[in-house]
Structures are given as C-alpha cells and as structure tokens.
Chain A
Amino acid sequence: MEDGFRLGDRVFGSRLLLGTGKFSSVETMLAAVRASGTELVTVALRRFNRERPDDDICGPLAAMPGITLMPNTSGAMNAREAVRAALLGREITGSPFVKLEIHPNPHHLMPDPIETYEAAVSLVKEGFFVLPYISADPVLARRLEDVGCAAVMPLGSAIGSGQGLATLSMLQVIIRDAGVPTIVDAGLRSPSEAAAVMEMGGDAVLVNSAIAAAEDPALMAEAFAAAVKAGRQARMAGLMPRSETAVATSPLTAFLAGEGS
C-alpha cells in the first residue's frame, strides 16, 4: 500500500525524519541516515562548513541520493536571526524546506512561540515550506497553520531529554485538530514512542538524539523506521476502540439471540 506523506509540494514515502547533530562521526551519521530509510533530514546551518569538508555535515548529505535537505535555524535567538539563517540555508542547499527553530535559552532549548510565529509569517511570504518547532501548544499550532506553515512540529519533551511523550495529551489535541501534518519532534527515546505517535494519528516523527546517542546508531535508526512503519500500519488498520470494562469474546447474553420474535 502506498501511503505517502505530503509536505509542501512533495510526497515522502518515509514518515521518519532525522536530525543530524550529535553523531560521533560523519560516517556514523550517514550510516544511520541510510539505515533509517528517511527521505528528509534536517541540518543545522551552524554546522555547514564550506571551508573544511571534514567538518561539514551538509555536503555529504547533499550527495546522498533520495535525500531532501531541510536546513534548520538552530542557534537563532529571534525572528530576525532565524529569517536570515533560513535565507542563507536555502541559498546554499536550494531546498524550499526550513525547520524553524528559535530557542533563546541555550540550556533547555525550549522554542520561543512569539519569535517563531513572527518568523513563520515572514518565511511563508518568502516562499518557504515552513516547519516550525514548537511547544505542544494546540493554539499556537493552529495559528501557525493559519499563516501558511506546511506542517507543525510540536515537541514530545525537551530536546535531547529522552523523556518521551511527556506532552501526550496536548499532542493528541494538536493531531486531532490539525489541518496540516503534525510531526512530533524532540524528546523521543525509544521506537515504541515513535510507534505510539503514529498510532494516535501523527503524520511523522523527527528523531536525532535517540539515534545518535545509541550504542549502535544505524541499528537504532532501523528500529525507529520499523516502529514508525508499524505504528502507521496500525493506524491505517484501525485500532480497536478502548473500553473501560472487559468485553467477553463470548457474550453472556448470546443465548437470548435464539428467541423467536
């Protein structure tokens, strides 16, 4: 079954997006990207290094067939900086996608909703497919959708925290009401959490730390890919409804079915 996932003007086969920081080497990162089957990866503009190829994580990804790059604005403290970074990222990569990240606090890296909104308005006008990284705030998600973002990327928990789906109940509201794809980004630790996002109707997940920090990143990337696929399949198959009480497989009232009417 073809189950493409539309973002902007493209359709992606894989619903697993990868972040590319934190890896022990470029080779390890490329191996994880390959093993994940992802078609869309995000790269921090601050890690582009056109002057020192062995320090550049953009060039090797750009050379991989079947991979679309999505520069991100990590490091930007405000809308002005993010817009400049996005424009430069597009100039270098030619990609129309931008992961809009504005986290003024360099320690907890939580996204700034006000600056993110302002930058999204500008970048949509500049013709980008904007994917804003946000707190799991249903109102902000809809406001960003209304100004033309191509998707919303609410966080499961703090970047790199591995706390999983700490924002679960808010994610459910966002997913239920969203008119654009919802990509759960940040905080995921285990493939089962990625599967859970897909089962509850999320359109995709973005994973970085959980893969980069694993003992075997390529194997973990494969595990996340399998989990995303399984979760999506379960969603498509239609999960049986939850019930608060037991439902016997042989109903106690079956004997009443035989009574003539």
Chain B
Amino acid sequence: MTSLDLDVSPWLDLARGAGREQVRQAVAVADPSIREFAILLSPAAGLELEAMAARAQALTRRHFGRTISLYAPLYLSNYCPTRCTYCGFASDRRIQRHKLTPAEMDSEGAALKRLGLEEVLLLTGDRLASAGYDFVREGVARAASRFHNVSAEVFAMTTPEYGGLAAAGCTAVTLYQETYDPARYALLHESGPKADYAWRLDAPARALAGGLRSVGLGVLLGLGDPIEDVLRLFHHAAWLRRRFWSGGVSISFPRVRPQSGDYVADFPVSERQLAQIVFAFRIAMPDVTLTLSTRESPRFRDGIAGVGISKMSVASRTTVGGYAETTAPSSAQFEIDDDRSVEEFCAMLRAKGLQPVFKNWDAVYREPECLTSSAST
C-alpha cells in the first residue's frame, strides 16, 4: 500500500483558476475524482453554487434518501494539557474545568436519552493521566449500555487502544487534523501531546486498523488555507478508503467559532465558501456521510440540510455534560449558533420534507462481550 501522499500541488492551479466550462462539466461528471473536486473549489465554481447545490441534493437523496441522521455531543471532560491557540479548552485558559464522574456519565446519558437521541458522540480534551484511555473507555462502555450508537471524538490513541474502544462498544472515531499544513499546525499547537502532527495524521488509520467501523475526518476551517486544507482532506479520505476496504469515512465541516481565548481565524471562511466546500465534497464523494454541527446558524443549517449534508447534531451542549441538571457547571469549548430543541429542529426538517432519523444503528451489531463489559467497567 502506498503511503499517504498529501502533495496537492498538481491540483492547486485548477482549484484557484478553473474556468466556468470546466466547472459545468465537473458538476455533472459521472465518475468524479480529485480533479473534479479541485475544479469545484475554484472561484469560478463559486459562481455556480445553485447548480452545485442541485447536484449535491440529488446525490444526497440517492445515497441517503430524504433523511437526516441525528446525534448529540457529550463532553466527558474539559481538562486539557495542550495549548491549541483556537480552542476554549486549551491548557492556558482560565476556565471552569470539570470531568464527569461515573454517576454523572450515567445521568448525562439518561438526560440525552430522554431527548430521544440514539447516537452520542463522546468528547474530551487531549490525553491526561487523569482523563486518558481508561477514562474514555469507561465513558464508551457506560454510553453503550444506553445508546445504540456510540462514537468518540477524543485524543489520538494507539491501535490497541482503538481496539479497546471498539470492544467497549464504540462504532466510530472522529479526529480532525485541524489543519494539514505542518507549519500552521506547529504554530497553532504550541505544546502538549497534540503538537505531534504526524502521530495525529496517522490516527484515523490506526483507528480503522484497531477495529472501529468508521472514522470522521475534518479540518477546522479558518486555521489554514482552506483550498489546500480541503484538498489534503480529500486525499486523506480517499487514501483511507483504498487502504481499508471495509472502513467507513465521514467528513465534517467545523469553522472556527468564538471561544474563551478570542482567537480570530487567520483564514476566515464565509458561509458561501463553506457551502461550496460541502457541495464539492458531495459531488466528488457522493457516498460519504457529510456532517454539520450546531456551530452553524439555524438559517445555514436549515438551508444545507439534505443539500449535501446527511447527518447533523442537535440540541448540543459544549460544556462538560450539560444535559442533566445535577452535573457540576463548567465552561464551554466554543459557542454554538443553533440552540433549538430537538422538537424544533425536527419540525424544521419535516417541513422541508426530510425525515429526522434518531436510530440508524443497532446494538446487536456489537460483539456480545462488549455488552457485558459495559456493565462491569
């Protein structure tokens, strides 16, 4: 297997200077590749957003139907040893920190479950002795006793650790490279375990090798040149699909949000650019789950639901816990923009002719031993 090649220089001319005729052909192409993807990122494609949206919607319907899968994040801890310039949980921030106790993990899970959710994404800060692999694994196991689908957006782990998460009932791992530009990465991640670019870059492959069913990739839009970052993201996704024939890949589109450290994006991405990137991914990778969180505004989320995006978070809290009233208070990682309730959000989807899907997985697909381990750990 060839190693991961992140050289996107052959595609930069197209991504920066494709013509309108190239764009029209790329929108309609039957067997898209990174060439079409690059063309669809171009300024000329930005003038064809309506045509891109129509194609993106048709492809989303074909592969995912008229449905939107729903999930909610649950932060297990906001302690963090890493100084990421853009993150509200960075170690140098004076914020209210908390780590869920086992009892709080259960009460938070119960509160989310009462909202009807069946898919939960567990999050933490970077690796700490007090909030490390065992802590995450316990969170997964406890969540797996309650939810049909549990995934984790946590620090980069070793292959055996990922195997342990899978055995505890974790279906997928999300791990954004944040930026694929090594120089920007070094600048933005000043210290702590996450400063190791290469270790993080290889983590999605380790997760699939360890037995996770799928990995979620992404860049934090705003940190690096968006064209170069998403071209490399495309490369990464395509490479993982070739290397792990039965592994799933999904892609998310987070943008830098206001947070406690007041980092301002060096490469701000507008809503129009964000939509263009989503449409380009849908057209060039039609069968991949594309996810959008509550970082974005209700107006943007309503518009792009089903038009490229096939999965969305709802009713999110970015504090530690935050769903149950009994959990100790803590600060949020970033501000969310869409704070609608589950009912409000689902009513919007239904009005758009989209069916909200809460349960799209079943615990029966976990190996039986993880069902027993979840109660005992």
* Alpha-carbon distance A107/B288, docked complex (angstroms): 6
Say which one of B47-55, B57-65, B157-165 lies at the interface with A. B57-65
B128-160 CB mask vs A (1 if < 8 Å, else 0) is 000000000000000000001000000000000
**CB <8 Å contact, B65 and A212:** yes
Q: A45 and B214: CB pair below 8 A?
A: no
Are A26 and B355 closer than 8 Å at their CB atoms? yes
B36 within 8 A of A: no
B287 touches A85 (CB 8 A): no
The chain B residue with its CB closest to the CB of A82 is B365
* A55 touching B365, Cβ below 8 Å: no
Q: Which of B64, B113, B245, B350 contacts A105 (CB 8 A)?
A: B245
* B63 CB contacts on chain A under 8 angstroms: 160
How many residue pairs bridge A and B at CB < 8 Å? 94
Given the contacts A22-B67, A160-B62, A45 and B241 also touching, CB distance less than 8 Å: no
Q: Is the CB of A46 within 8 A of B361?
A: yes
Determine the chain B residues whose CB is within 8 A of the CB of A25 once the complex forms.
350, 353, 355
Asked whether any CB of chain B lies closer than 8 Å to the CB of A75, the reply is: yes
| A105 and B148 alpha carbons, distance in the complex (Å) | 20
Q: A88-B364, A105-B246 are in contact. Are A22 and B64 (CB under 8 A)?
A: yes
Question: Which chain B residues border A143 with CB–CB below 8 Å?
Answer: none
User: Using an 8 Å CB-CB cutoff, how does the interface string of B108-123 with A read, 1 for contact, 0 for none?
Assistant: 0000010010100000
A48/B362 in contact, CB under 8 A? yes
Contact B66 A213 (CB under 8 A): yes
Query: Is A24 at the interface (CB under 8 A from chain B)?
Result: yes
Contact of A65 with B by CB under 8 A: no
Least Cβ distance of A258 to chain B in Å? 60
Residues A132-186 near B (CB distance < 8 A): 160-162
Residues of A within 8 A of B367 (CB): 80
Q: Per-residue 0/1 for B307-324: is the Cβ within 8 Å of any A Cβ (1 yes, 0 no)?
A: 000000000000000000
Q: Which chain B residue shows the least CB distance to A89?
A: B364
Structural contact, A75 and B361, CB atoms closer than 8 A = yes
A106 vs B67: C-alpha distance when bound (angstroms): 17
Q: How far is the CA of A204 from the CA of B338 in the complex (A)?
A: 47
Bound Cα distance A80, B356 (Å): 30
Establish whether residues B358 and A107, one from each chain, have CB atoms under 8 Å apart when the complex forms. no
On chain B, which size bracket covers the interface? 35 or more
Q: Is residue B16 within 8 Å, beta carbon to beta carbon, of the partner chain?
A: no
A49-B359 contact given A24-B353, A107-B288, CB 8 Å threshold: yes
Determine the distance from Cα of A55 to Cα of B359 in the docked complex, in whole angstroms.
Answer: 7
The reply on B360 being an interface residue by CB < 8 A is yes
* A162 cross-chain contacts in B, Cβ below 8 A: 62
Q: Is A8 an interface residue (CB 8 A)?
A: no
Residue of A nearest to B353 (CB): A24
- CB pair B350 A106 closer than 8 Å: no
B20 contacts partner chain A, Cβ-Cβ < 8 Å: no
Residue of B nearest to A83 (CB): B364
**For the complex, is A77 an interface residue (Cβ under 8 Å from B)?**
yes
| Contact residues of B between 329 and 372, Cβ < 8 Å to A | 350, 353-362, 364-365, 367-368
Of residues 36 through 87 on chain A, the ones whose CB sits less than 8 Å from some CB of chain B are 45-49, 51-52, 55, 75-77, 80-81, 84-85
Is residue A201 within 8 Å, beta carbon to beta carbon, of the partner chain?
Answer: no
Question: Closest CB of chain A to B71's CB: distance in Å?
Answer: 13
Question: In the complex, are the beta carbons of A46 and B355 less than 8 A apart?
Answer: no
Contact with A along B66-93 (1 / 0, CB 8 A): 1100000000000000000000000000
**Taking CB as reference atom, which chain A residue is nearest B361?**
A46
Q: Is B46 an interface residue (CB 8 A)?
A: no
* CB of B258 closer than 8 Å to a CB of A: no
A17-29 contact mask (Cβ, 8 Å, vs B): 1 or 0 = 0000111111000
Q: Select one of B118, B246, B288 contacting A77, CB under 8 A.
A: B246
- 7 extra interface residue pairs, beta carbon distance < 8 Å, beyond A55-B358, A81-B365: A25-B355, A46-B360, A51-B116, A75-B361, A88-B364, A104-B246, A209-B65
Q: List 13 A-B contacts (CB under 8 A).
A: A21-B65, A22-B61, A22-B65, A23-B355, A24-B353, A45-B364, A49-B359, A76-B365, A77-B365, A85-B364, A104-B246, A105-B246, A106-B214
Cβ-closest 7 pairs across A and B: A22-B65, A24-B66, A104-B246, A106-B248, A55-B358, A107-B287, A49-B359
Q: List residues of chain B with CB under 8 Å of any chain A CB.
A: 61-67, 113, 116, 118, 148, 213-214, 241, 245-246, 248-249, 287-288, 350, 353-362, 364-365, 367-368
